Amino acid sequence: MSSLAEALRFVTRRIARLRGRSPRSLGGGALIALAVIAAVGWYFRPWLHGIVYAIYTTPILPVALLVAGLVVYGLHQRTTLVGPQVALAVFLLVLVVGSGVAGLLAGERLGKSTLESATTADSLAETDSGMPRVVPKSVAARYASNTLNFPQYRITGSEVTVDDGTPYWSYALAPDGTYNHFTKRQHGTVLIDMTEQNAEVRTITGDLERGIGPAFYNNYRFELLKRGQYLVDYGDPFMVVKDGEQYIAVPYTTPTFHWAPLPYTTPEWGGVALIDGDGNVEDLSPEEARRHPALEEQKLYPFALARKKVATTKYRRGIVNTFTSHEDEIEVAPVPGADNDQPFLVFTEDGPEYVVAVEPYGEAQGLKEIWTVDSRTGDYEVYTPDQSLFGARKATDYVRQAARTTDWNRFTPSEPVPVVVDGQLYWQVRVVPGDSSGIAYIAFVHARSSDVQEVSTTREVVAFLDGDVGAADDGSTEGRRPSLIVQRVAPNGTVVGTLAVYGNESVRVVQGTATATNGTATNGTATNGTATNGTATNGTATAAA
């Protein structure tokens, strides 16, 4: 409590100086009480952050006070029957109405500035097959809980982090239970490999001086609001592991003030706070964060800000339009998935990006735009399809239709993540049990044709992202080389039909016999030129009509 004592002595000296007396000569009990309250308030100022920041970012407050004062003064000139209740009522009315209008003005400015600063993309970046999103958030949490073997700790938080080129779901090992909450620190970090379907869990142990989950005197946020910037909005923390060392990274936003026609604020990316294992706090600007060795692989831009900026582009035709005709209005597409929503972090060949799919306002479920945000620079791009594509919600419907034997009372489609393969947009949907105990299978849904391809292993996911997707889902095979051609031949030897087979597709002959042009056939199945039991791959088969 040395900081509290220092604060008390500082406040006492300041008050004494103002009164022109020495601290020892202060005899007023009220003054001493005031000094104690001020010192305690200063020490525990992190607990007051929410209230202070809300007042700081609501500049309509002094306007409400001024208007209430003018109204009461004007009424008082006509009658003396004006009490404090009237003043309070006027103040609250102006504050509520003014805050609502200011909020709309802030949304319109933020949305239009986002549109003005964003670049238009002609295409979407190809998904990096070396860093696929396989494990959804709910399953990762279950994996982490199932493998936890620390009886005094629990997992908390769920954010994406990258270590040595592999993306992970990261969790903090926080004290579990009331006694441990007040007596222990964060004990380490749990990492779940996002690219592997089975539970691949890493645990890095080591107490952090200021961590996630313990009591305030051991808590990262309390330390951050004392040692770092105070009048900023800190986002969700995430764990970073670099060369065996553990860090807590916290992106934050700062308010930008606007004064006309009413005062209001809009958020902008301010930087990243980084706390090391010893509790030291570094306040990094966006440029400094990108250069910091511990953050060289990490996302840096705030998730919430990316979603908010994209969502406010609904005001592109003005505030009135959003209450009347809704012309060209958008909304961020709601997606299924336990406690996980857009934006999704997708690893592309251009680097890690937040992806936000938006739909037309209302009941429409088509894909209107896809916004991508560089997770390290905060640069926005918007891609508008030049053809009709369906959105994330409809993709899950097609998965249900394609898997008619799946018991949808026990399983659910989760986290439809947009991926791009050979220039084609797909929705990658994970089908998981209701208890999130694993992954049943993964379905890729073509956003134009609605064709569904199911895969069940990580290797198949990578193969799909590498372009081994079978016949082009839009009906075109231009530029693609078939791995097998099946010919239908009449008794006179005339070829009456052909079937081109692409990628890892197979051909099953239900009736009849088949002969392979480059081998032998038995019961109508060819593999590498030899047919057995009705499936042909990696060769050329000629089936008798």
Reported as a single tens digit per residue, the pLDDT across 296-344 is: 999 999 999 999 999 999 999 999 999 999 999 999 988 876 677 899 9
User: For residue 433, is it within any domain?
Assistant: yes
Residue ranges for the chain with pLDDT beneath 50: 1-2, 26, 471-482, 492, 494-496, 513-545
CA–CA gap between residue 242 and residue 222 (Å, rounded): 24
412: left (phi over 0), alpha (psi -120 to 50) or beta: beta
Residue 232: closest CA among 264, 263, 269, 259: 269
Q: Are residues 249 and 348 in the same domain?
A: no
Using DSSP's 3-state secondary structure scheme, residue 390 falls into: strand
Q: Are residues 375 and 399 in the same domain?
A: no
Q: Are residues 260 and 341 in the same domain?
A: no
Q: Are residues 34 and 15 in the same domain?
A: yes
CA–CA gap between residue 471 and residue 307 (Å, rounded): 35
DSSP class of residue 24 equals: G
496: left (phi over 0), alpha (psi -120 to 50) or beta: alpha
Domain residues for the domain of 412 are 392-465
CA dihedral 426, 394, 379, 127 (to 10 degrees): -10
pLDDT of residue 81: 62
Find out whether 439 and 420 touch, Cβ atoms under 8 Å. no
Q: Are residues 441 and 328 in the same domain?
A: no
Distances (CA, A) of 294 to 92, 208, 238, 456: 48, 16, 13, 35
Q: Are residues 31 and 170 in the same domain?
A: no
Q: Are residues 348 and 241 in the same domain?
A: no
User: For residue 75, is it within any domain?
Assistant: yes
Residue 188: closest CA among 250, 244, 235: 244
User: For residue 52, is it within any domain?
Assistant: no
pLDDT of residue 337: 66
User: For residue 230, is it within any domain?
Assistant: yes
CA–CA gap between residue 479 and residue 441 (Å, rounded): 30
User: For residue 506, is it within any domain?
Assistant: yes
User: For residue 283, is it within any domain?
Assistant: yes
pLDDT of residue 470: 53
User: For residue 474, is it within any domain?
Assistant: no
Q: Are strands 201-205 and 188-193 parallel, antiparallel or unpaired?
A: antiparallel
Residue after which a domain boundary falls, among 465, 496, 518? 465
Q: What angle do CA 425, 358, 328 make, to 5 degrees?
A: 120
Give the pair of three-digit tokens for residue 362. 């209302």
CB < 8 Å & 24+ apart, contacts of 310-314: 310/114, 310/343, 310/356, 310/358, 310/371, 310/373, 311/111, 312/107, 312/108, 312/110, 312/111, 312/114, 313/111, 313/112, 313/114, 313/115, 313/358, 314/111, 314/361
Give the pair of three-digit tokens for residue 241. 């592991």
Domain count, the chain: 6
pLDDT 10s digits, 109-164: 999 999 999 999 999 999 999 999 999 999 999 999 988 989 999 999 899 999 99
Query: pTM for the full model?
Result: 0.79
Place of tokens 């799909």: 464
Using DSSP's 3-state secondary structure scheme, residue 412 falls into: strand
CA–CA gap between residue 190 and residue 169 (Å, rounded): 8
Residue after which a domain boundary falls, among 353, 383, 413? 383
Place of tokens 């986290």: 415
Q: Are residues 259 and 181 in the same domain?
A: yes
Residue after which a domain boundary falls, among 383, 415, 446? 383
CA dihedral 279, 283, 289, 294 (to 10 degrees): -10
Q: Are residues 292 and 199 in the same domain?
A: yes
Query: Got the DSSP string for 463-515?
Result: HHHTT--SS-TTS--TT---SEEEEEE-TTS-EEEEEEE-TT--EE--SS-EE
Q: Are residues 375 and 430 in the same domain?
A: no
User: For residue 135, is it within any domain?
Assistant: no
Q: Are residues 412 and 491 in the same domain?
A: no
Q: Are residues 68 and 163 in the same domain?
A: no
CA–CA gap between residue 386 and residue 130 (Å, rounded): 29
Give the pair of three-digit tokens for residue 2. 């040395």
